[in-house]
Amino acid sequence: MEQVLYRKYRPQSFADVVGQDHAVRILSNALAMNRIAHAYLFSGPRGTGKTSVARIFARAVNCEKGGCNTCATCEEFLSGRALDCVEMDAASNRGVDEVRAIREAVLLAPFKAKYKVYIVDEAHMLTKEAWNAFLKTMEEPPKHAIFILATTEPDKVPETIQSRSQHLRFRLADEATLVRVLVDAAKKEGMALEPDAAEMLALFAEGSFRDALNLLGQAQALGGKTITASVLEDFFGAPSKTALTEVASALALRDAKHAIECAGQVFAKGSDPRLFLKLLIHQFRAQFLDALRSGRVEKDAANPFSTKELETILRILLETATERHYSGWRELPVELALHRIVREVSL
Ligand SMILES: Nc1ncnc2c1ncn2[C@@H]1O[C@H](COP(=O)(O)OP(=O)(O)O)[C@@H](O)[C@H]1O
Ligand SMILES: [Mg+2]
Ligand SMILES: [Zn+2]
């Protein structure tokens, strides 16, 4: 079976990991100085590299060459069959039994490798009893054991565990970073991903590397060699750039009626109002950041809004995007926002 893109492009060495410099630096230094902690807590949103880095680290501590990915040890770890690397998904194995089994097994020497590495995914899902069992191990960890607890919710990890582990935070990727990763993967796949299209996928992915690559996979499944923004607009039911530009122009002319009509046409085609809002925010944010970068404060011929006005517009759109949307009134919040912009940013 064809491998899904996010698995195919899983980082296999520290150098492949994008945007997590802090975590990578700490782990590389620990390896270089041979000061490896017995327990690590990897926290951060899903799809930011926690599992990937845990596996890289598991190989790095055991490989003679620090994770060459070619020696027998690395190959065994890469195959997922290494007995000295145990991955447990706490979301499906919440039980105290699994942890108890780990507790007993951890005392025995590794089968082949230098270290036994236990990777516990979704660690926050463990039950209280399971944590207690873990704690007993972590209080006196054998020299050969390393625990890596990965979680999206570090606050739910008991204080006693937190204080015994080194906490590394994984961060969401910014759009430019995701664009880079997408363009890179597209190239390897022999796809032509147009810049507009890459930007759109990055926006939809909301900071998750995994989501970005999954979306690219969906775009690839559409079959075309060239992925354009308009192909994606059709596929995701996103408002077209032309429509967004027209709404922005109407706002520039302080024409609330026309702005709302344009938005209405977009919704009539089946676009989701929240997606519309998101893309509108994206567009105005780009203008805002651009104004800051160039030091422009006032409006001019090419820029119909002053920096202060852009700030007001973004505030209104952001407020609308974060407020609750009642299912019966999906379009109204956008319409009100457009009207309010014209009211508050008068000519
Ligand atoms: N920091 C990153 N750099 C490059 N790719 C990444 C990164 N984080 C995640 N990915 C991509 O997303 C996929 C899932 O990542 P994973 O490590 O399982 O994330 P997590 O465990 O944080 O949910 C990886 O296989 C890879 O394709
Ligand atoms: Mg994971
Ligand atoms: Zn190796």
| 128 in the same domain as 165 | yes
The edge-to-edge listing of strands for the beta sheet with 116-121 is 85-89, 116-121, 145-151, 39-43, 166-169
**Straight-line distance from the first to the last Cα atom of the chain, in angstroms, rounded to the nearest whole number:** 59
Q: How far apart are CA 241 and CA 243, in angstroms?
A: 5
Q: How far apart are CA 80 and CA 154, in angstroms?
A: 26
How big is the CA angle at 130 (ends 132 and 54), to the nearest 5 degrees?
Answer: 105
pLDDT of residue 272: 87
**Cβ distance 107 to 99 under 8 Å?**
no
Which runs of E-coded beta strand occur in the chain?
39-43, 85-89, 116-121, 145-151, 166-169, 192-193, 226-227
SS3 content of the chain, % helix, strand, coil (to 5): 55, 10, 35
pLDDT of residue 148: 96
Mutation choice for ligand 1 from 52, 55, 201, CB with most ligand atoms inside 8 A: 52
Q: How far apart are CA 172 and CA 20, in angstroms?
A: 9
| 202 in the same domain as 74 | no
The secondary structure of residue 2, as a DSSP letter, is P
The residue among 140, 108, 121 whose CA lies nearest residue 38 is: 140
Task: State which residues form the domain around 215.
Answer: 175-236
pLDDT of residue 100: 81
Instruction: Give 197-209 pLDDT, tens digit per residue.
Output: 999 999 999 999 9
CB-proximal residues (5 Å) to ion ligand 2: 50-51
Ligand 1 site, residue 217, Cβ cutoff 6 A: no
Six-digit token pair at 279? 């893309």
**Cβ distance 196 to 38 under 8 Å?**
no
pLDDT of residue 145: 94
Output the residue whose Cα is nearest ligand 1's atom 8.
49
Instruction: Give 47-100 pLDDT, tens digit per residue.
Output: 999 999 999 999 999 999 999 999 999 999 999 999 999 999 888 876 678 888
Other C-beta atoms closer than 10 Å to the C-beta of 174 total: 11
In this structure, the strands spanning 226-227 and 116-121 are unpaired
Residue carrying the six token digits 């780009």: 286
Q: Does pTM surpass 0.85?
A: yes
Ligand 1 site, residue 210, Cβ cutoff 6 A: yes
**Cβ distance 298 to 207 under 8 Å?**
no
What ligand is nearest to the CA atom of residue 69?
3
pLDDT of residue 1: 53
| 273 in the same domain as 144 | no
Q: What is the DSSP string of 63-128?
A: STTSS-SSSHHHHHHHHT--TTEEEEETTT---HHHHHHHHHHTTSPPSSSS-EEEEEETGGGS-H
| 12 in the same domain as 80 | yes
Q: Mind listing the pLDDT tens digit of every residue in the chain (347 residues)?
A: 568 999 999 999 999 999 999 999 999 999 999 999 999 999 999 999 999 999 999 999 999 999 999 999 999 999 999 999 999 988 887 667 888 888 888 888 999 999 999 999 999 998 888 888 888 888 888 999 999 999 999 999 999 999 999 999 999 999 999 999 999 999 999 999 999 999 999 999 999 999 999 999 999 998 888 999 989 988 888 898 899 999 999 999 999 999 999 999 999 988 889 889 999 999 999 999 999 999 999 999 889 999 999 999 999 999 999 887 777 888 999 999 999 999 999 76
CATH number for 261? 1.20.272.10
What ligand is nearest to the CA atom of residue 22?
1
Q: How many domains does the chain have?
A: 3
| 197 in the same domain as 82 | no
Ligand 1 site, residue 110, Cβ cutoff 6 A: no
Q: How far apart are CA 18 and CA 10, in angstroms?
A: 11
What ligand is nearest to the CA atom of residue 76?
3
Ligand 1 site, residue 229, Cβ cutoff 6 A: no
Q: Is 132 helix (H, G, I), strand (E, B) or coil?
A: helix
| 158 in the same domain as 14 | yes
Residue 68 CA to ligand 1 centre (angstroms): 20
| Boundary residue ending a domain (215, 236, 257) | 236
| 156 in the same domain as 210 | no
Output the residue whose Cα is nearest ligand 1's atom 24.
10
pLDDT of residue 220: 93
CATH number for 104? 3.40.50.300
